[in-house]
Amino acid sequence: MSVLLEQLQETVIYIKSQFTNEAKIGIILGSGLGNFSTEIIIEKEIAYSDIPHFPVSTVQGHGGKLILGELAGKKVLVMSGRFHFYEGYNPLQVTYPVRVMKMLGVDTLLLSNAAGGVHPDFNVGDLMIINDHISFFQINPLLGPNDDSLGPRFPDMSEPYSKALINKVLAIASTNNIKVHQGVYTGVTGPTFETRAEYQFIKAIGGHAVGMSTVQETIAAVHCGMQVFAMSVITDLGIREEENIITHEEVLQAAKEAEPKLTLLFKELINQL
């Protein structure tokens, strides 16, 4: 048995000792989206610091707890705050909670993030359904020996984001008169926001939005057989001719303002699962 698998089992045993119910739906909340958790009928919260082998969030705007509860009539397992490569965590640590969720019974993973808009039609506060990603700038979390009990050596990535779930959310958005885009998310390491030239490069290779998370989590989720839905809140615009200064405070504020729309879409999607 690999060291990783041993650690995962120890983590799962601890969490099961705290939670009495199993959730099939997992949610990871991005920057400024922590208030989403107030919509959940909470059964139990566990601080990341109390969970064996779990990293701890260090970024403003990210909570630091694992929540089991009920949303839209379904049991959900929610990470209020995620881990990033730029915090100094390696890809195995970044994706560790995804594998824990799988071993706890989660088969559908919903991801949210704050992202910089690259497409010229995007505005701050817009929502973008991620229908594909570019991961060349992030380290693949599957590098190294593969544990076949976690997933295949060479997982197919032709549909990392479930088309069926995307279609459900498009229908929900239409019914509720919520404007949503679809596009390609480009994952970068951070923590610096991109230069003007980098934004232009990302646009040239087909990226519609750029951010510092999500890609590694999606790869790990697909590797272990989950279906994934992900949505970006466009919290800043990368390509603009005037001043191009972006602050983390601006990102958090934009995410907060867009949160009610994202919450509605996630709740309605969960209701249909």
Reported as a single tens digit per residue, the pLDDT across 218-272 is: 999 999 999 999 999 998 887 655 665 666 676 677 767 788 899 899 999 999 9
Res 148: pLDDT: 93
Q: How does pLDDT run across 36-49, given as a tens digit for each residue?
A: 778 889 999 999 99
Res 237: pLDDT: 82
As a whole number of angstroms, the distance between CA 262 and CA 111 comes to 11
Residue 98 backbone phi and psi in degrees, to 5: -65, -45
Q: How does pLDDT run across 167-211, given as a tens digit for each residue?
A: 999 999 999 999 999 999 999 999 998 888 899 999 999 999 999
Res 245: pLDDT: 64
Sign of torsion over alpha carbons 60, 115, 161, 203 = negative
Res 140: pLDDT: 96
Res 56: pLDDT: 78
Tokens 């995804």, located at residue: 98
DSSP label at residue 193: P
Q: How does pLDDT run across 115-156, given as a tens digit for each residue?
A: 999 998 998 889 999 999 999 899 999 999 999 999 999 999
Res 193: pLDDT: 87
Res 244: pLDDT: 59
Give 91's pLDDT tier (boundaries 50, 70, 90).
Answer: very high
As a whole number of angstroms, the distance between CA 29 and CA 210 comes to 17
Q: How does pLDDT run across 92-106, given as a tens digit for each residue?
A: 999 999 999 999 999
Residue 1 clears pLDDT 80, i.e. is over it: no
CA dihedral 29→156→172→270, nearest 10 degrees, is: -50
Res 242: pLDDT: 61
Res 134: pLDDT: 97
SS3 165: helix
Sign of torsion over alpha carbons 132, 186, 35, 55 = positive
As a whole number of angstroms, the distance between CA 118 and CA 91 comes to 25
Res 101: pLDDT: 97
Supply the CATH classification number for the domain 3-272.
Answer: 3.40.50.1580
Q: Which long-range contacts (CB under 8 A, 24 or more apart) does 78-82 make?
A: 78/26, 78/27, 78/28, 78/29, 78/36, 78/37, 78/40, 79/26, 79/27, 79/28, 79/29, 80/29, 80/34, 80/37, 81/29, 81/34, 81/48, 81/57, 82/28, 82/29, 82/30, 82/57, 82/213, 82/217
What pTM, to 2 d.p., does this model score?
Answer: 0.92
